[in-house]
Amino acid sequence: MMRQQQQKTETNIEGILAEHQLDLWAQEEHTPAQDLSSITEIIMRGEAWNNVQTLLPLLAQLSHDQRWLAWVAPPRLLPKAQLKAAGFDLDKIILLKPDAHHDTMSLAKQALKSGTCHTVISWFGSLAENQLNDLAQAAELGNSRAFLIRHQ
């Protein structure tokens, strides 16, 4: 009989602790995470530009939308003949290069939020969480998608 009372008490304590923990979770302030669904990161190993060949069919398909396909700061340009052979619509691609007044991040954000580009492909190193959030917000404003190509 005494053993049954001990088990009953332990069960009650566990239930109280679990209920108390749920109350603590409910009291925590939750800041909504930025929706990063408009961003796709592609991480490549080795010589990044050589590996881009595997992405050409996907990128070519993206060039057939009504709005622009923007390339921001690619490490190297592919010959137009190679792009055309891969199926690119060269009339729908815009190339944006950083200069003294515009870095890769500012060009990518502007292209994303402008609404004139359906997809913006950018070449970055690593990005901080706030930079990813900025890109996601810009993409949402412009109803665009961001492809971030990084190499390790």
Question: What kind and span of H or E run contains 105?
Answer: helix 104-114
The pTM score is 0.72
Task: Write down the pLDDT at residue 93.
Answer: 93
Rounded Cα–Cα distance for residues 138 and 146 (Å) = 9
Rounded Cα–Cα distance for residues 86 and 56 (Å) = 6
Token pair recorded at residue 26 = 């409910």
Residues 8 and 48 in one domain: no
Which comes out higher in pLDDT, residue 49 or 98? 98
Residues 48 and 94 in one domain: yes
Residues 83 and 53 in one domain: yes
Residues 8 and 42 in one domain: no
Residues 15 and 41 in one domain: no
Task: Write down the pLDDT at residue 13.
Answer: 47
Residues 26 and 39 in one domain: no
Q: Give the count of domains, the chain.
A: 2
Q: State the residue range of the domain holding 115.
A: 34-151
Residues 59 and 25 in one domain: no
Task: Write down the pLDDT at residue 150.
Answer: 82
